[in-house]
Amino acid sequence: MRKVCIIHETGNGRLGGHFIENAFLGLPGVEIAAIADSNKDRTVADYIPRPAQRYYDYKEMIEKERPDILVLASRLPEEHFEQIDFAIEHHCHVLTEKPFVADIIQADYLISKAAEQNIQIAVAHLGRFAPVFQTMKRMIAEGELGQVLSCYLRGKEDNRGGGEDMMVLGSHLLDMAAYLFGHPLEVYSDIRVNGRNITSGDIMQTDEPIGLTAGDEVMAFYRFPGNINTIFESRRGMVERNIATRLGIVVTGTKASIAVRFENDRSLRICKNFPMPNEDESNFERVFVDTALEIPGADLIDYTQCVLNPASENHRYYADNNRRIAWDLLQSIEKNRQLASSATDALWSLEMIIGAYRSAIERHPLTFPLIERKHPLCK
């Protein structure tokens, strides 16, 4: 039986997460032992489901409970470093919300320390577990798009558009590009604030403390193996906060284009009206995706216990894939195998973000892995 403890901070006006605190509910061989939350305005009755034990200090929880697995529900990367470091010191595996951490040097340190202790760190880039993106990856591998030429990633582009969008939501998209195509080779970017090129002094205030951030406009070009060119773009103020229609990914090959928008059911669509130009007769059709969630010995998932709005397709997406990543972590611990979404995987998307800043400031392309590990916005 694996003992799971959860750090789920709810105070200080922080924004909501993606319900990863409930990822292990109903999974076999798991005991959810305790939750830590320093917010004294909340009682045990406020948590669904109610924890067996409630702590105000996560260090006290870890020292007393001695869990096998620690879940970090906070979406603030600046909180993760100390929590993960403490977990590793107490021989505890980790499932953490993204972004992993805000700094490459911190990531290098944690990955190295975890490897020395044989500790697994899973990072909740949920697209790797979602059938829609697994189907996209399979179709690419089976040649349904022909030779892949390019990939277009677009952020949410609300009031966080630009650098903040690149960190909060772009981390998902950039991780998805690495999942589909392999590790990136190069980056060249143009990042601006009020129409001018950013400098190392252009650090901006963000909605949440997510690390050093700059720019209200990002255009980053990445080169992947197989001569695949990928663009990430985000501009501030294009839509209102709760609209996700711009957030998505399009992959184009010599035979077809395939696309997913991060809204509602995240349907997979394909356009086979080639050759180009596709504006002459483009027609995207839905692709069937088998979304069956089967985990041996697991209880039937109860969305009323996992998310705020069980009728929401977005919330059900989080619940399903939180469960999948939790199961993958359990299996990885049991079989001593690699995770499907590890801290090492998350490091690549972090390098893609920080590399975009350095390229924009220095005005030249950079290769991966980055030689200079220090954040270019760090004074």
- pLDDT tens, 298-314? 999 999 988 888 999 99
Span 201-214, pLDDT tens digits: 999 988 888 899 99
Same fold, 2-127+295-341 and 128-291+349-367: no
Tens-place pLDDT, residues 50-88:
788 999 999 999 999 999 999 999 888 889 999 999 999
Average pLDDT, the chain: 92
CATH number of 2-127+295-341: 3.40.50.720
Q: What is the pLDDT of residue 109?
A: 98
Average pLDDT over residues 332-357: 97
Distance CA 151, CA 213 (A): 24
What fold does the segment set 128-291+349-367 form as a domain? Dihydrodipicolinate Reductase; domain 2 (3.30.360)
Q: Judging by DSSP bridges, how do beta strands 228-235 and 248-253 pair with one another?
A: unpaired
Asked if pLDDT for residue 268 goes beyond 90, the answer is: yes
Sequence-distant (≥ 6) Cβ neighbours of residue 187 within 8 angstroms? 220, 221, 222, 223, 352, 355, 356, 359, 365, 366, 368
The pLDDT, as a whole number, for residue 15 is 60
* Predicted pLDDT at 265: 82
pLDDT value at residue 86 = 98
* 332 phi, psi to nearest 5 deg: -70, -40
Domain residue spans of the chain: 2-127+295-341, 128-291+349-367
Q: How many CB atoms lie within 10 A of CB 321?
A: 24
Give the C-alpha separation, 355 to 45, whole Å. 45
Q: Which two tokens stand for residue 279?
A: 């504006």
